[in-house]
Every structure is written in C-alpha cells, then in structure tokens.
Amino acid sequence: MPKLTNNQLAFLLARITLGINFFLHGFVRIPKLEAFASGLTQGFEVTMLPLALVKMIAYAIPFIEVI
C-alpha cells in the first residue's frame, strides 16, 4: 500500500466521515419512512413543485442515502 500524504489522508478521512453520515441519516429514516415523506411533502406544499414529485423523491431519499 502506497504511503499517503497528509492531504490525501485528510481527504480520505473526510470522505469516510461523510459516507458514514449519509448512511446513518438514511438508515435512521427508513423505519419512519411515512412520517419523513409526509413531513417533507408538507414543507413543499407552498412551492411550485408538484406534490406527487416531492412525495416520490421523499420516499427515495433515505434509500439513496443508504446506498
């Protein structure tokens, strides 16, 4: 294994930290998927976005974060 420079090591640590963060956010939201989707949909009710699109994306976000 090649020796990593300080910059490469810092970048690797940041990527691992962000990856774990995304994974845990998605993992925690999956059991409460309905509540998360309805809360997100309510937050976007006053915008121009179609609610069907918002709801579809709200159901996909936790799974995307886990992946």
Query: In the chain, how many domains are there?
Result: 1
- Per-residue pLDDT tens listing for the chain (67 residues): 689 899 999 999 999 999 999 999 999 999 999 999 999 999 999 999 999 999 999 999 999 999 9
Domain interval for residue 14: 7-66
pLDDT at 2: 80
Q: Is residue 2 part of a domain?
A: no
Q: What is the pTM of this model?
A: 0.78
- Alpha helix locations (H) across 1-48? 6-29, 33-43
Residues in the chain: 67
Residues 6+ positions from 63 with CB-CB distance below 8 Å: 26, 30
